[in-house]
Amino acid sequence: MIKLDIFSDPICPWCFIGKTHLDRALESRPNHPFTIEWHPFQLNPDMPKGGMDRRAYLEGKFGGKDNAIKAYMPVAEHAEKAGLKMNLEGIKTTPNTINAHRLIHWAGIEGVQTPIVSALFKAYFIEGRDIGDIDVLADVADTGGMDAAVTRKLLLSDADLSEVREKDESARKMGINSVPTFIVAGQHAVPGSQPPELWQRVIDDIVGQLQSEPK
């Protein structure tokens, strides 16, 4: 198997679109060689613990309402092409995602990381839920097959908080400065939301190389 490391943030629309493209490629290549692991990268590491009003956040980030709308037009366009019905208007809060990343970390230990990542994207971008809220995160854990009560208890503690922050810092020290970023086999970086066709070619190339290796 070949490791595919994915650096992502569950409030990043391009990460959701990129995952959707990757999923489509993997579905078309059921014998793909990838073992997938998700890694933390906070778009807003300095976000207040309780998050902030999304409209204020976007207007502050992009320099006003008109610029925020312009910045999100390509997101809406590419989401639609990917078959995603993002409810961007329904998102009221831009959360601090450190707890969401802790949940993804624990999901990895339990072997349900990708379903939890999918559930977080759905909760935020489609259902408009605040994924900085501990009750919401416990509910997401439950839908992904994790124990909601245990998850809630862990989230109320500082369990693995420093470890997840250190992983985020390590990503930045590696030179990752935007997400999504995909690392194939620990050495080949694939930045951004790539179309399914690119991933199909990558998979076909890897499978061809593996098949040509002497047994």
DSSP 50-80: T-EEHHHHHHHHHTSHHHHHHHHHHHHHHHH
**pLDDT digits 0-9 by tens, 152-193:** 999 999 999 999 999 999 999 999 999 999 999 999 999 999
The pTM is what? 0.97
User: pLDDT grade, residue 215 (50/70/90)?
Assistant: low
As a whole number, mean pLDDT of residues 45-52 equals 96
The predicted structure's pLDDT at residue 213: 83
Residue 86 has pLDDT above 70, yes or no: yes
The predicted structure's pLDDT at residue 33: 96
CA distance 215 to 208: 14
Measured torsion, CA atoms of residues 60, 89, 180, 122, in degrees rounded to the nearest 10: 140
The predicted structure's pLDDT at residue 128: 97
**pLDDT digits 0-9 by tens, 106-161:** 999 999 999 999 999 999 999 999 999 999 999 999 999 999 999 999 999 999 99
CATH 3.40.50.1110 is held by the domain 2-212: no
Coil, strand or helix: which one is 3?
strand
* Spans of all domains in the chain: 2-212
As a whole number, mean pLDDT of residues 51-55 equals 97
As a whole number, mean pLDDT of residues 34-54 equals 97
